Structure 1
Amino acid sequence: MELQQMRYVVAVAEEASFTRAAARCFVVQSALSHQVKALETELGFALFARTSRRVELTAAGTAFLVGARACLAAAERAATDAAAAAGLVQGHLAIGMIPTVTAVDVPGVMKAFHRAHPDVRIALQVTGSDELVSAIVRGDVDVGLLGLPEGREPRGVAWRSVGTDRHVAVVSPDHVLADRQGLRLEELSGETFADFPTGSPGRAQSDLAFDAAGLRRDVAFEAMVTELLLDVVRENLAVTLLPSRFVPAESAALVRIPLADGPTRHEFVAWSDFNPSPATRAFLELVV
């Protein structure tokens, strides 16, 4: 049984097509099909049920796929560890971040990392802090840049604090409060808000601040994409609260107003301390 055969099986399973799997593996379909059939003959059972229009894993194939993926991951890790021992950092690095990272200059860090380790392939994703922590625990993300309300810390992962910032109110230049030099939350309690989805850490920072002040507010617009929230604010449909460093001080389309009792956001870099890859360790050296 060869690693290449396992790669072909994984590709066919994920693509649900021998044709697409062959294109993905940069091999002619006949060669890929021959290798998969040879593996099935060696194993003594079929991995796929085939028709002229459909390809599906058999029960045996589903069980085999789990081990095949694990073997391929172990083989890749062995190669990257050997390269690291020889002074080279290779492999893949999955980085996740919240939409409003401010404590880390992500483009600058990426530039420095790529210059130092050009053979590492990097995958980036943007999502919420809770989702990132879960992805780190599963092994789907190597490094996460998180933002949590004051008093909360990442759980189940290794972490380091990288910064703290207080939220500001963000309004349209046409808003009645746009000329104010400072505000308190009670002066905003009657406004319509745009914010992150209910239950997300980004939303919790503001919700906790209003709850602590004994105030209620109306969140009429929800989005995970920060730019969409700001678009709603630009149209003067709502106001929002965001970390001060995320909103430009000088903007013709937005006005940020300091809050005397606004929420505080803490940023963290998080990772799994269970055998982090050489690429993960190299990236962390630039951040923490």
Structure 2
Amino acid sequence: MPTLRQLEYLATVVDTGSFTRAAEQLHVTQPALSHQIRALEVALGGPLLERLPRAVRLTPTGRAVLPHARAALAEAERLHAAARRTAGLEEGELEVAVVYSVSLGVLPPVLRDWRRLHPGVRIRLREYAHADRLREAMAEGRADLAIGPAPTGWEGPIRELGVEEFTVVLPAEDPLADRPAGTVGLAELADRDWVHYAPDNGLADLLDQVCARAGFHPRAAIRAEQTSAAPLLAAAGLGPALVPADIVPAHFEGALLRPDPPVLRTLTAYTRTRPDSLTVAFADLLARRVRIGPEVSRRPVPDASG
């Protein structure tokens, strides 16, 4: 199989009209150049060049091969240029996989800033309801970067981004809504029916775990498939909801209370292999945007939820 080097040598000999001048331009010895041309001729099954006393002339086979050689060299240069532009964050595409809560809360301002900073680099987003599905998708090669709770048993690079804080949502008219401290112990809500999550939504596991720490199992008034529906259902009076603080709209009509102790979850970015420059740049921007929780009573929940 011809190599790009051999094709380059052929095109240079033709362009300069001389093995001597071609060798000088390529910074190789003339014997090395001749050897590569002979190897190319062997690979293609016939002579490509006729060596005249003062010039070099293409054979019929050489005339047929040369356009393809030039096309291959041009394509290789385009490939190298694309790689350089990607390394320079000028253009390319990055496939990012996330759990739902990240795509609703943390990610939108990151994508806005990324678009402003790197308009030529497209983002393809894949969303998963549970961190286990996210991990499986990443292991199967469906994305370049995964963002979610730390994956159990992951052998590739993992970068801790920061802490995601959760809030309890209640109706604005709830008796607990006007607390001066703005906090609530989950045990105080043990006798309530909750806005829970569907079993395939990873936040269902999280809610069960933190309520178990508080000494009870949350009864479900309703189970939401979509994470974004939970705060709306809670504000409508169907029961308290535990949601990532970042997904709550700025002008939300419900009451937001901080659990005491806080409910926090460490977010990570992980890849299968050492990340390239695009992936690192995106993770850097993401890390600056992740909400950092309070320094006291920081007890992240188990990293198995979505």
TM-score (normalised: structure 2): 0.56
Cα deviation for residue 116 of structure 1 reads: 4.7
Matches within 5 A, 1:46-57: none
1:169 aligns with 2:180: no
Aligned partners of 1:81 and 1:277 also within 8 Å:
no
Aligned position for 1:134: 136
Matches within 5 A, 1:151-166: 155-166=154-165
Aligned partners of 2:104 and 2:247 also within 8 Å:
no
**Whole-Å Cα distance in 2 between the matches of residues 126 and 235 of structure 1?**
27
Aligned position for 1:96: 97
**Whole-Å Cα distance in 2 between the matches of residues 130 and 173 of structure 1?**
35
Aligned position for 1:272: 272
| Superimposed CA distance per residue, residues 139-188 of structure 1 (whole angstroms, 9 cap, x where no aligned partner) | 1122222146xxx7573442211122443211011333322333212111
Aligned position for 2:299: none
Aligned position for 1:16: none
* Secondary structure, aligned partner of 1:174: coil
Cα deviation for residue 112 of structure 1 reads: 4.1
**Whole-Å Cα distance in 1 between the matches of residues 245 and 105 of structure 2?**
14
Cα deviation for residue 81 of structure 1 reads: 6.3
Distance 1:286 1:179, change over 3 A: closer
Aligned partners of 2:98 and 2:127 also within 8 Å:
yes
* Secondary structure, aligned partner of 2:166: strand
Aligned partners of 1:184 and 1:262 also within 8 Å:
no
Gaps of 5+ in 1: 1-77
**Whole-Å Cα distance in 1 between the matches of residues 282 and 222 of structure 2?**
36
* Secondary structure, aligned partner of 1:190: coil
Cα deviation for residue 132 of structure 1 reads: 1.6
**Whole-Å Cα distance in 1 between the matches of residues 79 and 105 of structure 2?**
26
Aligned position for 1:121: 122
Aligned position for 1:235: 236
Aligned partners of 1:145 and 1:267 also within 8 Å:
yes
Aligned position for 1:244: 245
The farther-off stretch of 104-113 and 90-99 is: 104-113
Say what the alpha-carbon RMSD is for the aligned residues: 3.3
Aligned position for 1:206: 207
Distance 1:167 1:83, change over 3 A: same
* Secondary structure, aligned partner of 1:141: coil
Aligned position for 1:83: 82
Aligned position for 2:43: none
Distance 1:255 1:101, change over 3 A: same
The farther-off stretch of 127-136 and 278-287 is: 278-287
Distance 1:138 1:224, change over 3 A: same
Aligned partner letter, 1:164: V
**Whole-Å Cα distance in 2 between the matches of residues 179 and 154 of structure 1?**
44
* Secondary structure, aligned partner of 1:121: strand
- Sequence identity of aligned pairs in percent? 23
Aligned partner letter, 1:235: A
Distance 1:285 1:216, change over 3 A: closer
Cα deviation for residue 220 of structure 1 reads: 2.9
Cα deviation for residue 115 of structure 1 reads: 4.4
**Whole-Å Cα distance in 1 between the matches of residues 149 and 139 of structure 2?**
17
**Whole-Å Cα distance in 1 between the matches of residues 250 and 149 of structure 2?**
21
Gaps of 5+ in 2: 1-76, 288-306
**Whole-Å Cα distance in 2 between the matches of residues 195 and 113 of structure 1?**
34
Cα deviation for residue 113 of structure 1 reads: 3.3
* Secondary structure, aligned partner of 1:100: helix
Q: Pick from 142, 145, 153: which aligns with 1:143?
A: 145
Aligned position for 2:185: 184
1:258 aligns with 2:264: no
**Whole-Å Cα distance in 1 between the matches of residues 125 and 200 of structure 2?**
23
**Whole-Å Cα distance in 2 between the matches of residues 101 and 134 of structure 1?**
17
Question: Which structure has the larger Rg?
Answer: 2
* Secondary structure, aligned partner of 2:237: coil
Cα deviation for residue 265 of structure 1 reads: 1.6
Distance 1:236 1:111, change over 3 A: closer
Aligned partner letter, 1:223: A
TM-score (normalised: structure 1): 0.60
